[in-house]
């Protein structure tokens, strides 16, 4: 074997050893990925709210204002009564309708909120496929979502071809929602090794801030290629 061949073989072995060391370090440290749904795997929430508004014929600002009043009566804010599973979508819609009174002309019932919200939703196949690749490498991947019972059938249809998750942590099932620190504490016990680094992918800054305050890593999602790039940078490949 020539000197050049020997040097090339030594270089190749060194590169392979470095790659194996990096892989071993990742396995020893361990990573767990938690991904949000709305605004990450499906388009920005504003589009869905516009779809609801257009369907029922009431400006979203008006609907949200009434929803906030309903939430306040239950000791919460915004959509939390739904996300925490405190009331059904039908009861929530009826309370909002009552708040707005006879001065509002409805094109259709707000009880069909889920159908209007998900009627034109799409799914981010690129990000889901990337999550599947990480999962195939042995990195646990979970869905951590502020969700509503009546929305789940629509989400299942969108996710059905992919099956990228090892665990589904839904707010309405556990009566906890992001950015409550308790939901991150619960997630720690449900997926991944105790010492693994958790990574949250979420489109909302308060949810990411709560995750990092809990000791997680966080990617504030706005663009799929950038999120994928950040995932690979954090995991180290």
CATH code for the domain of 33: 3.40.50.1000
Assess whether 146 and 113 both reside in one domain.
Answer: no
The Cα angle at residue 152 between residues 146 and 153, in degrees rounded to 5:
165
Mean pLDDT, the chain, integer: 88
Q: Which of 89, 118, 147 is the last residue of a domain?
A: 118
Q: Which of 118, 137, 167 is the last residue of a domain?
A: 118
* Residue 161, number of CB atoms within 10 A of its CB: 10
Assess whether 141 and 202 both reside in one domain.
Answer: yes
Assess whether 108 and 225 both reside in one domain.
Answer: no
**Tokens representing residue 113 in the block:** 């909120």
Assess whether 139 and 213 both reside in one domain.
Answer: yes
Assess whether 146 and 30 both reside in one domain.
Answer: yes
* Tens-digit pLDDT profile for residues 111-133: 999 999 998 889 999 999 999 99
Rounded to an integer, the average pLDDT of 29-57 is 91
**Domain assignment of residue 58, yes or no:** yes
Assess whether 139 and 205 both reside in one domain.
Answer: yes
| For residue 4, pLDDT beyond 50 | no
Q: Which of 98, 118, 138 is the last residue of a domain?
A: 118
Distance CA 17, CA 28 (A): 16
Rounded to an integer, the average pLDDT of 50-61 is 94
| DSSP letter (8 states) at residue 143 | E
**Domain assignment of residue 34, yes or no:** yes
Rounded to an integer, the average pLDDT of 69-95 is 96
Distance CA 224, CA 124 (A): 8
* Tens-digit pLDDT profile for residues 170-228: 999 999 999 999 999 999 999 998 889 999 999 999 999 999 999 999 999 999 999 99
Distance CA 188, CA 169 (A): 11
- What region, left, alpha or beta, does residue 101 occupy, with left being phi > 0 and alpha being psi -120 to 50 degrees? left
Assess whether 171 and 187 both reside in one domain.
Answer: yes
pLDDT of residue 23: 44
| For residue 26, pLDDT beyond 80 | no
Rounded to an integer, the average pLDDT of 25-39 is 79
Distance CA 228, CA 127 (A): 7
| For residue 29, pLDDT beyond 90 | no
Rounded to an integer, the average pLDDT of 150-168 is 92
**Domain assignment of residue 1, yes or no:** no
């Amino acid at each position: 074997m020539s000197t050049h061949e020997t040097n090339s073989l030594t270089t190749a072995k060194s590169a392979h050893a470095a790659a194996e060391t990096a892989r071993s370090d990742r396995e020893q440290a361990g990573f767990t990925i938690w991904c949000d749904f709305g605004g990450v795997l499906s388009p920005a929430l504003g589009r869905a709210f516009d779809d609801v508004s257009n369907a029922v014929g009431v400006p979203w600002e008006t609907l949200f204002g009434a929803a906030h009043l309903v939430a306040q009566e239950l000791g919460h804010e915004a959509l939390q009564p739904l996300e925490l599973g405190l009331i059904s979508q039908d009861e929530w819609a009826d309370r909002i309708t009552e708040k707005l009174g006879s001065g509002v002309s409805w094109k259709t019932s707000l009880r069909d909120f889920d159908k209007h919200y998900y009627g034109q939703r799409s799914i981010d196949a690129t990000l889901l496929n990337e999550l599947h690749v990480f999962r195939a490498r042995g990195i646990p991947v979970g869905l951590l979502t502020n969700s509503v019972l009546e929305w789940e059938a629509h989400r299942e249809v969108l996710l059905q071809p992919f099956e990228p998750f090892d665990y589904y942590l839904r707010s309405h099932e556990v009566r906890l929602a992001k950015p409550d620190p308790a939901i991150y504490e619960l997630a720690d016990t449900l997926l991944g090794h105790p010492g693994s680094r958790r990574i949250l992918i979420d489109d909302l800054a308060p949810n990411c801030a709560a995750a990092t305050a809990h000791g997680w890593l966080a990617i504030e999602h706005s663009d799929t290629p950038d999120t994928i790039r950040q995932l690979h940078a954090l995991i180290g490949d």
